[in-house]
Amino acid sequence: MNDLLRWTALISLAVYFLVDFLDSRRVEDEREKLIQLKALELAHKVTMGALTILAALYAFHPGTDAQIVILTMIAVALYGEVAAKIYFRMTL
């Protein structure tokens, strides 16, 4: 399980930095600032919701493996922002 946690974290960070690098090459205008603001707001809401649900799950089911909770938070935090940016680029 430790290898799964390590590789998930490393791959997630690599994907996040790749998307961030490609995103930084875009022209900064008002539309991009709006997309970034809306994406970060949505990512924050999703992350806080996931944290609340995972905390309740772990509180009511203490037998749950803590590494699964950590992996889920990594995925929600990193991929939530990436998915929100893609979503708002398609809709705005």
Task: State the Cα–Cα distance between residues 36 and 88, nearest whole angstrom.
Answer: 8
**Rounded mean pLDDT, 5-24:** 85
| Higher-pLDDT residue of 38, 2 | 38
Report the interhelical angle of 2-24 vs 66-91 (nearest 10°).
Answer: 20
**Rounded mean pLDDT, 36-62:** 94
Expressed as residue numbers, the domain containing 86 is: 2-91
Q: Please state the domain count of the chain.
A: 1
pLDDT at 3: 83
Task: State the Cα–Cα distance between residues 72 and 17, nearest whole angstrom.
Answer: 19
Distances (CA, A) of 79 to 16, 57, 60, 62, 75: 8, 21, 26, 26, 5
- Token output for 59: 């509180």
pLDDT at 2 over 80: no
